[in-house]
Structure 1
C-alpha cells in the first residue's frame, strides 16, 4: 500500500511539474507574440508617417525623385504583411537607410528644415523610432527568455514534446548603427 501511495504521489508531482513547465512555455510564447505586436504597432505608425514626410520634402526638392521612390518602395516592402521577424528586420533596415538618404536631401534645403510641418513630422518619426527601439529591446529580452527555457534541461523535454519552437530575434543590420561614433573636439 505505501508503495502505491508513493508511486501515485510521484506521478502527481511529475504531472504537476510538467503542467507548470508547459504553462510557463505558453506564457512566454504569448509574451513574445504580444511584444512583437507592440513593435508592429510602432512600425505601422512609422509607415504611416513616412508618406507625409516624403510629400513635405517633395514640395521643396522636386528633382530628388530617386530618393522618394526608394523611400516609397522600402516603405511598401516593410509594410507588407506576412513577413517573418528576420524578413521584417531586413525590410526595416532598408527603410531606415532610405530615410537616412531622405534626411540628407532635407539637409540641403534650409527652408525645408525651418518648415514647422517638416519639423513636427521629423520629431514624430524620432519619437516613433525611440519607441521601436524600446519595443525591440523588450521583444528580444522575451525571445531570449523563451529560447533559454526551450533549450534548458529539463524544460526542453516538455518543449520538444509539444513542439515549442525558438523565436527569432529582431536584429539591426545597419552598419551605421553598429559603427563606433567618431567624436571630434
Structure 2
C-alpha cells in the first residue's frame, strides 16, 4: 500500500514538472513571438525614416542633420539581432537625433505608436515568463530545463 502511494506521488510530481516545462516553453515562445513582431515594426520604421531622409535631401535639408540621422539609423539597423538592450539603446539614439531634426511625418508617428504598443506587449510577456522562472517551485524546473530570465525592452524615457 505504501509503495502504491509513493508511486502515485512520484507520478504526480513528474506530471507537474512536465506541465511546468511545457508552460515555460509556451511562455518563452510567446515572448519570442512578441519580440519578432516588435523587431519587424522597428525595421518598418527604419524604412520609413529612410524615405524621410530621401525626401529631406530632395528638398535641400541641412546635410549635417541628415548625416546624423543616417548614422543613427544605420546603427539601429545594425543592432537588429544583437539583443534587446543593444537594440533599445540604438533606437533611443535614433529617437534623439530624429527629435532634433524636426517634426516627423504621420507614417513615422503611427509606427512609433505601434512600437510603443509592441514594447508593452513584449514586456508583459517577459515579466510573466520571468516571474515563473524566479518563483518556487517552478524555478526548480527552470534550472533543470535551462530556462533563463529574458531581458525587458527599456521603455522610452
Scaled by the length of structure 2, the TM-score of the pair is 0.94
Q: 1:71 aligned to 69, 72, 85, which one? A: 69
Q: How does 1:138-153 map to 2 (within 5 A)?
A: 138-153=121-136
Distance in 1, Cα, partners of 2:83 & 2:70:
21
Gaps of 5+ in 1: 105-120, 179-185
User: What's the CA shift for 1:103?
Assistant: 1.6
My pick for the range that moved more, 151-160 or 77-86, is 77-86
The Cα offsets for residues 107-133 of structure 1, whole Å up to 9 and x where unpaired, read as xxxxxxxxxxxxxx8111111100000
Q: How does 1:36-185 map to 2 (within 5 A)?
A: 36-62=35-61, 64-80=62-78, 81-103=80-102, 122-172=105-155, 178=157
User: What's the CA shift for 1:60?
Assistant: 2.7
Are the equivalent residues in 1 in contact too, given 2:126–2:150 (CA < 8 A)?
A: yes
Scaled by the length of structure 1, the TM-score of the pair is 0.80
Gaps of 5+ in 2: none
User: What's the CA shift for 1:7?
Assistant: 1.0
Are the equivalent residues in 2 in contact too, given 1:93–1:172 (CA < 8 A)?
A: no
Distance in 1, Cα, partners of 2:63 & 2:148:
44
